[in-house]
Amino acid sequence: MKNILRLFLFLAAYFLTANSFSQGLVNRSDTLSKKETDSLVIHYCSVLKEHYFDKPKANEIEKILMKKLKNKEFYEVPAKHLTDKLSLLLRDITHDLHFYIGIQEPTPTQTDDGTREEQLSEEPKNHFSGFTEIKLLENNIGYIKWTEFIADDQSFQKLVAALTFLEGCDHLIFDISHCPGGDGRMGGFVNHHLYESPDYQDVLLKKCGGENEWHQSEVPYNYSNGPKFFDIPVYIIISKNTASSAEYFALIAQETKRATILGETTAGAGNPVIMIPFDTYFAYVPVCEIKTAGGKSIEGKGVVPDVQLKSDHWIEETVKYILKE
C-alpha cells in the first residue's frame, strides 16, 4: 500500500469513479461489473487511508484488498453481497466491529413541480431523542430505557424532564440493553447528573488519527438545571446489543463503582467512527481509539457485567436483585 498502490491506482480510482458511479444509484441486488467492483474497492482504500486512525493498518488492509481484487475474489457478486463481504473482512482483519460499508438508500422527495424524485438517505431522523421509556417501578425504583445516544437540545431537555419525573426515587435503572450507541456527548451530559465529583471525566483517554498524545475522552458538562442523583444507587442493564458510546457509559460507571452493571457482555465496538459517503456508498471508519487511564480497552472485548442476568425478564430480575441488596 504504501502509496495507494502507487500513483496508478490513485488515477484509476479517480477515473473509474467518475465513469462508474455517475450513472445513477446502485441496485443492491444487481451484479456489479468488473469496472464497478474495481472502482468501489480502490475508492474505499483511498477513504480508509485518509480517515482511519491506524495508518500502518490501513496500508496492510489495502494490500489485502488489492490482492483479493487481483485474484478476482470480489467479482460477479451483487452489490449488497460485496459490501457485506468487505465489512466482515475488515472486521476480521482489525477486530474492530465498527467497520462497515453500505449502500445509500434512496428516499422519495417532493420537487417544486409536485413530482417525486429519489434522494440518498444516510441517517434516520431523530423522533424520540433516544429515551423510549421512563417510568417508576415498584418500590420507588426509577427506570429509563435509553436506545440511542443523541446529543441535541431536544434530547437534553427530555433527559432533564425524565430525571425531574423520577426525582425522589430510591434507586435508578438505566436500561441500555438495546442501545447501539451514538453521540458520546449525551453520555457526558447524563453523567453530570450522576457524579458529584468530576473525577469520572478522567477515566477514559482518547487518541485520534494524527495525534501523538492521549487526552481526556469524556466531554465535560458543568451546568444543567436538571435534578442531581449523586447519592442514589444506579443500576445499568447491558447486553450484546449494547455498543460504542453506550458501552463507555457503562464502563465509566463500572470503573468508578458508581453503578452496578447487570446483563451480559457488550458488543465490544469501542472505537469512535465517522460516516464517509462516497458516490452511492458509505463507510463507517474508526477515527480514534479509547482506553482507560490504566490502559484497558473494550475493543473486541466489551464490558463484562458485575451481575449476569439469566432469566427472560431482565427488568424483573434487576428489581429483585435491587431489593435483595
CA distance 8 to 250: 47
Q: 45 or 30: whose pLDDT is higher?
A: 45
Instruction: Provide the pLDDT for residue 106.
Output: 66
Task: State the average pLDDT over residues 171-185.
Answer: 95
User: What's the whole-model pTM score?
Assistant: 0.78
> At residue 114, does pLDDT exceed 50?
no
Q: What is the DSSP string of 218-232?
A: SPP----SSPP-TTS
Task: State the average pLDDT over residues 287-297.
Answer: 93
CB atoms inside a 10 Å sphere around CB 297? 14
Q: Residue by residue, what is the 3-state secondary structure of 272-291?
A: CEEEEEECCEEEEEECEEEE
Instruction: Provide the pLDDT for residue 230.
Output: 97
Task: State the average pLDDT over residues 299-322.
Answer: 96
Task: State the average pLDDT over residues 210-230.
Answer: 90
> At residue 152, does pLDDT exceed 70?
yes
Q: 183: helix, coil or strand?
A: coil
> At residue 115, does pLDDT exceed 70?
no
> At residue 68, does pLDDT exceed 90?
yes
Q: With contact defined as beta carbons under 8 Å apart, do 169 and 144 qualify?
A: no
Instruction: Provide the pLDDT for residue 118.
Output: 41
Task: State the average pLDDT over residues 194-219.
Answer: 93
Residue-wise over 191-228: b if at least 16 C-beta within 10 A, else e? bbbbbeeeebbebbbbbebeeeeeeebbbebeeeebee
Task: State the average pLDDT over residues 95-121.
Answer: 64
Residue-wise over 257-269: b if at least 16 C-beta within 10 A, else e? ebbbbbbbbbbbb
Model pLDDT for residues 180-206, shown as the tens digit of each residue:
998 999 999 999 999 999 999 999 999
- C-alpha cell recorded at residue 210: 494524527
CA distance 291 to 206: 7
CB-side exposure of 117: number of CA atoms within 13 Å? 8
What are the chain's domains? Answer: 6-94 (no CATH), 131-273+287-324 (3.90.226.10)
Q: With contact defined as beta carbons under 8 Å apart, do 164 and 193 qualify?
A: no
> At residue 320, does pLDDT exceed 80?
yes
Residue type at position 265: T
> At residue 25, does pLDDT exceed 90?
no
CA distance 258 to 255: 8
Q: How far does the chain reach from its first CA to its final CA, in angstroms?
A: 57
Q: Which residue has the cell 444506579?
A: 234
> At residue 124, does pLDDT exceed 60?
no
What DSSP state is assigned to residue 27?
P
Instruction: Provide the pLDDT for residue 177.
Output: 98
